[in-house]
Structure 1
Amino acid sequence: MLIQKKIIQNVKNKCIEDESVSACMMYGSFTKGEGDQYSDVEFYIFIGNHDINHFNSRHWISEVNAADLIFYNEYGTEVFIFSNMIRGEFHFLPESKMEIIKSFKSTGVFPNPESMYIYDSTEQLRPLLEGLGGSGPERMTDKNVNFAFNNVVNAWLMGVNVMKRRELARSLEILTQVQKYILQLIRVKEKTVERWLNSTKNLEMDISVESYHDYASITAKLRECELKTAYHNALKVVEKLYHNLGTFYTVDIDQGFIKKLYIHLNE
């Protein structure tokens, strides 16, 4: 039995025995049938409105599984590094905020909302989860494709300019943004947009060998020659995607503009 499965069961048991817990849902890999020994466990736990102010999340989790490190990440999510080296992400919210679940619909595809259900004493959770079912948001649109092309150009130009200033570390950081938007365009081309917001997940199996090689060509180490090659290759991939997607989508950039970017890189 996977350690994560035991933690999930412990969370469920704790929810059942703790009267301050109104409902609990899980999200992430284990709700999509993709969980393995390396996966995180991720939960939203709703606490009774009268109990939330004196609810101690650290004590609560310590009774689920021993943790070596507990902190809030940059998104305000409480992260637990369990003693068995499993990561857990927990959102503890008052019961009155349970309808936040409705906002999840715009973030992706939930193939089996029932798998997200852990516990509920309010009879509110299942209807909210059922609302997440069906197809996810439409990603293959003119708006999204244009957004990705435009943001590739924006990040690319910034990254090239700071590279020319010899801020190589900053250029390398910005390159990750170039990669992000190019990868979204690749996923549109290959019709694998279910992972639009987490585009690198399962990439080795989701896209073609050719596209994977294109993606690999825009990676670099902290060396000026590698950075320049990655930014040059990024233009080549953008040009290829422009010719492929420009047939089906309205795109602001054109071949003449891409040529100007090549010239700017080599000036």
Structure 2
Amino acid sequence: MLFQEKLIESIKKKCENDRIVSACMMYGSFTKGEGDQYSDVEFYLFLKENEIHNFKSSEWMNDIASYDLLFFNEFGSEVVVFSNLIRGEFHFLPESEMDIIKTFKVTGVFPDTKSMFIYDITGKLKPLLDELKGEGPKRMTNDHVNFAFNNFVNAWIMGVNVLKRGEHARSLECLSYVQKYVLQLLRIQEKTTDRWLNATKNLEADLSDKAYRKYASTTAKLDAGELYNAYSNALRIVEDLIHALTSDYQFDINRGFTNKLHSHLNDLFSSLE
């Protein structure tokens, strides 16, 4: 049995024996049949309103497994690094906030809501999880294609501009956003949009070899020449995607505009020679 599977069992037993916990649900890889020895464990725990002031997550975690770090990340999740370096993400919320589960529907597909159910004494958790069943949000739409194209342009121009200024590190940071929107468009083209929000997950299996090589060509080290090539390749990929997607989708960007971007990039090339 994987350590994560043992953790899941320990958390279930802890919930069953803790009067403060009203309900607990799991999300992430182990609810999608994708969990392995490298996967995180991720939970929402809903606590009784009149007891939550007595709750200390550090003490609660000590009863689950030994850990080295416990802290809040930039998204407000409580992150635990267990002693064997397996990560966990926990959200401890009052029972009155269980309706937050309804907001998960727009984030993706939930193929097995039964596996998400860990514990509940309120009778509210299962109906809320049932609402997540079925198809996920539609990503292959004009709005999503337009969003990806337009945000690609935004990130691309900023990245090229700071590269021209000599801010190579900042340009490399901008490149990560360029890659994100290129990847979303490639997923649109290849009809693998279930991982739209976490677009790099399982990429090696989801994309064709050809599309994966295209994505790889947009990567770079902290080097002006490599950054130039990555931005140039990204623009050429987007031009190909304009041609490939134009018969099925309506969007603002066109080849005339990308020609202007090429000219903008060529100015940079001249300065690098």
Unaligned 5+ segments in structure 2 are 268-273
Same amino acid, percent of matched pairs: 62
Alignment of 1:1-267 (within 5 A): 1-267=1-267
Q: How far apart, CA to CA, are the structure 2 residues paired with 1:178 and 1:239? A: 14
Deviation at 1:109, TM superposition (A): 0.2
Query: What residue identity is the alignment partner of 2:68?
Result: D
SS in 2 for 1:198: coil
Q: How far apart, CA to CA, are the structure 1 residues paired with 2:15 and 2:222? A: 48
Deviation at 1:54, TM superposition (A): 1.7
Q: How far apart, CA to CA, are the structure 1 residues paired with 2:230 and 2:221? A: 9
Q: How far apart, CA to CA, are the structure 2 residues paired with 1:99 and 1:65? A: 29
Cα distance per residue 1:219-242 (max 9 Å; x no partner): 000000000000000011000111
How many residues are matched? 267
Unaligned 5+ segments in structure 1 are none
Cα distance per residue 1:185-206 (max 9 Å; x no partner): 0001000000000000000000
Deviation at 1:247, TM superposition (A): 1.4
Which range moved further: 52-61 or 160-169? 52-61
Provide the aligned C-alpha RMSD in A. Answer: 0.5
Q: How far apart, CA to CA, are the structure 2 residues paired with 1:129 and 1:243? A: 41
Cα distance per residue 1:3-39 (max 9 Å; x no partner): 0000000000000000110000000000000000000
SS in 2 for 1:197: coil
SS in 1 for 2:197: helix
Query: What residue identity is the alignment partner of 1:178?
Result: V
Deviation at 1:52, TM superposition (A): 1.0
Deviation at 1:106, TM superposition (A): 0.5
2:271 aligned partner: none
TM-score of the aligned structures, taking structure 2 as reference length:
0.97
2:270 aligned partner: none
Q: How far apart, CA to CA, are the structure 2 residues paired with 1:13 and 1:221? A: 47
Q: Runs (4+) of structure 1 moved beyond 2 Å?
A: none
Which range moved further: 53-62 or 25-34? 53-62
Deviation at 1:85, TM superposition (A): 1.1
Deviation at 1:217, TM superposition (A): 0.2
TM-score of the aligned structures, taking structure 1 as reference length:
0.99
Cα distance per residue 1:103-123 (max 9 Å; x no partner): 000000000111100000111
